Chain A
């Protein structure tokens, strides 16, 4: 073990010395500093909230880590184990109920309240319908009381709606919105194809209205979907007319967990030989 550690230290020192000597020869350091300054300048011009995304002509090749190896190699054994016990498990679980989600009970409660309020309101409506028959001041006062009651019912309905809103809005999940802007030199595409290895392929047809909006400098939404919070490499290509001949490009983006990430592709930033090359991402 000590020998191994010693070898690692020696390797690190040798590697560090090699890099340092190469840098120390002069130009390397100056270029690195200039490159760093240029990168800082680029970042600051992109704004504090948006990140420039790198776009590759070829999908970056990275070796995928092997996962669930035992399962893959012993799937027959594990299936046999499951099959052996499945019958017994089904018989045993038939009498066991899963606990109910308390929110479902709350929904039922809210629905009952809504129905009760509706009954109260319809009774009040009946009484209001007969108001022409009322002549005395005392009856008019009763109508006023009914209006007050309706207001109270409305207020309670408002409270219920606000509870529902906070229930749904409070559970934000990871989502990605892909926006496109600009028109490439090959003309507005008929559709945009977005595909990912190990993922679903998406074809977004651009309507005439959307293409008109792009030509006028507007933005069109290509995709809005829940996505896995991990690094995604999307292969983007254009379809229709002269654009179909363009090679696809790969845009890599890592949506932030439980947040809404926007990815904007600028189609106008297209050279004569290439597909879209400018992309920006930001998070809300």
Chain B
């Protein structure tokens, strides 16, 4: 086969077919990889990796705080969770961010935060969010076009009746209304307090 000018066009045809084939392969590969990247997990799923890193930092490191580092709207599951450990021997606190079961970054907390170690067992983030949504979160989101903002696990901060209790605080936000705080007891899974602010 030749062109109008009499030049052979076989090479161009092969090149086009090869390019299209390669394009399809690359597209399939990128699509598959995107789907496989960073699966969302509950807070407890990354705890082992964070604890192993914290032990290397300080033998007496204790978990004092957990927070979702990325959106946890998918049923209390987030692609990345942050864990804060404190050490008495080092007199410092260090945060670890865990994605896909691996510690992605570690850094010292740049300010004082004297929180007590969280008590085990604590319910996982999916169960905490389910309880909070059932109790007040779903209704708030429906009324105010709100969404889940932050989930955090801490001890001794939010439960007035049990000041030593470890609790999940589930915080919903809306563009035109005050945020809704729902406090869930991390041992029993019951909602113990809600307020707006």
Contact = CB atoms under 8 A, between A and B. Distances in A.
Interface stretch (A43-51, A116-124, A225-233): A225-233
Contacts of B20: 17, 20
Contact of B108 (A15, A16, A79, A198): A198
B82 interface: yes
Interface in B67-122: 67, 69, 80, 82, 84, 95-97, 99, 102-109, 111, 113-116
Given A67-B107, A71-B65, A85 B19 contact: no
B82 A93 contact: no
A68 interface: yes
Interface stretch (B48-56, B124-132, B133-141): B48-56
A70 B15 contact: no
A284 interface: no
B19 A24 contact: yes
Given A67-B95, A174-B56, A257-B49, A20 B163 contact: no
Max chain B Cβ within 10 angstroms of own Cβ: one of A16, A17, A25: A16
With most chain B CB atoms within 10 A of its CB, the pick from A15, A20, A92, A175 is: A20
A71 B113 contact: yes
Interface size of B as a range: 35 or more
B95 A226 contact: no
Given A81-B158, A173-B52, A229-B49, A20 B103 contact: no
A139 B24 CA distance: 94
A241 B29 CA distance: 52
A78 B22 CA distance: 54
B26 A19 contact: yes
Nearest to B29: A16
A16 B114 CA distance: 51
Interface of A: 12-13, 15-17, 19-21, 23-25, 64-72, 75, 78-79, 81-82, 85-86, 88-89, 92-93, 173-175, 198, 226-230, 257-258
12 contacts: A13-B23, A64-B107, A66-B69, A67-B97, A68-B82, A75-B113, A81-B157, A173-B52, A228-B53, A228-B96, A229-B56, A230-B106
